Amino acid sequence: MLQTLAQCIETFGSKYLIKKAIAEGRLFRIAKGFYSDSKDVSETSLISAKYPKAVFTMNTAFYHYGLTDTIPEKYYLATERGAKISDNRVVLKFENSDILFLGAVQESVNGATVSMYNRERMLLELIRNKSNLPFDYYKEIILNYRKIVDELDMQFVQDYLPQMPKADMIRKVLEAEVL
């Protein structure tokens, strides 16, 4: 189980006892400030633990939901504006704080429970970011959304839409390309 330094101090009692547990092989240092009782911790778990106020989005979510077969090279995270994350494994997408957690759900990814936008929110994000995506990638995902449109909770889409930037544009594209 992945733990922060503070959680380890609570469990073991002191930094000295943490070092002793590491020396005995009962605990492993995974990254600065993060420890685990197992040597093998998924990178997804570590990213999620390092940035608990971030939500997995865009390419990471599209791949997780099976909407594309393109494996993302980096993790895409939505954070509040002004968040300071400097990690070359992460692509940041800044979001207004009032919609940051709109549509965020807990998903299991590579054995880790992470915060990720649901498929309905990701449909809106796809359309909202259409101009920033390669055309073929966008079309692949839109075609896959058309296949699962009956599985989506359209009430969520209707609830999220008025709160999103570019709501009118998203509505028009949604009606023309998906529904």
What tens digit of pLDDT does each residue of 130-150 get? 999 999 999 999 999 999 999
pTM score of the predicted model: 0.89
Quickly count: other Cβ atoms within 10 Å of residue 35's Cβ.
Answer: 22
End-to-end CA distance of the chain: 43
Residues 27 and 43: their CA atoms lie apart, in Å, by 17
User: pLDDT digits over 46-66, tens only?
Assistant: 999 999 999 999 999 999 999
Residues 135 and 138: their CA atoms lie apart, in Å, by 5
